[in-house]
Amino acid sequence: MAKTGDTVRFLNSTGGGRITRIEGKIAYVEEDGFETPVLVSELVVVLPAGHEPDVKGASLMFDQKAFDEGKKKTRENPKASREEAAPKEELPVVETARGENINVVLGFEPENIKDLSRTRIAAVLVNDSNYFLSFNLMVRDEEAKAWKNLYQGEVSPNELIDCAVFTQDTISQMERVVFQAIAYKKGKAFQVKYPINVSRKLDLTKFFKVHCFRPGVYFDTPVIEVPIYSER
């Protein structure tokens, strides 16, 4: 339940901010000096009160303005766009108490929910933790009766990363996935985590049903969020 001081985003529209007060079922959210009254049920907490970073210039998980701006851009080729992007300055990692427990989610985000049968669907990995994850995301190759890498790389703490793009004709590759990862921190001491090695079977029938796509914990737009691994 959202409370005064929480940093939130709006569930059914872009934007968000910090809750200044709650009156009954209405929360007043401050952003850029302006307050917006919103139903508490239409808010998603992205940073609980008391967990604000004490590092000046640090980047919050899913910075709302950057996130909203990014959602306006079409993901033509996720891998290519990452390789072509200019290197960005590494900012201090923001840590929260809840982030010491690793939580990984795989989100499936259609480009055009109104044309579900033909639209492209992006597979997005969410790292909701204070740890860097060096990971492999694998899918089953039924013809070879073996596994193959869908994406191999590193995801920073409290960030998401595009792994692949599918259509309704190719989404069947995701029926069974394996996620393997090693967790660590850079430049500081940390608690050692056991290597992650989990297998998940996805219900592919959901990808053909519009009502199964809806805004979730990590996305403002309609998605299917699949829990992959959680210590919480």
Over residues 186-196, the pLDDT tens digits come to: 999 999 999 99
Q: What pLDDT is attached to residue 51? A: 56
Class assignment of domain 1-49+62-68? Answer: mainly beta
Which SS3 state, helix, strand or coil, does residue 40 take? helix
Specify the pLDDT at position 81. Answer: 44
Spatial separation of the C-alpha atoms in residues 158 and 25, rounded to whole Å = 29
For 135-156, write each residue's pLDDT tens digit. Answer: 999 999 888 889 999 999 999 9
CATH superfamily of 74-85+98-232: Smr-associated-like (2.60.40.1600)
Task: Output the pLDDT for position 88.
Answer: 52
- Residue 17 or residue 191, greater confidence: 191
At 212, give phi and psi (nearest 5°).
Answer: -80, -15
Q: What letter would DSSP give residue 212?
A: G
What pTM does this model have? 0.64
Domain coordinates in residue numbering, the chain = 1-49+62-68, 74-85+98-232
Hey, what are 200's tokens? 């998940």
Residue 209 pLDDT more than 90?
yes
Q: Supply the DSSP symbol for 69.
A: H
Question: Is residue 40 a contact partner of residue 28, using CB atoms and an 8 Å limit?
Answer: no
Helix (H) or strand (E) holding 65: helix 64-71
C-alpha–C-alpha distance, residues 159 and 127, integer Å: 5
- How many whole angstroms separate alpha carbon 113 and alpha carbon 133? 30
| Residues in a beta bridge with 15 | none
**Higher pLDDT residue, 99 or 56?**
99
CA 61 to chain centre: 9
Give burial (CB, 10 Å; 0-12/13-18/19+) of 114. exposed
Strands 43-47 and 34-39: unpaired
Do the domains spanning 1-49+62-68 and 74-85+98-232 agree at the CATH topology level? no
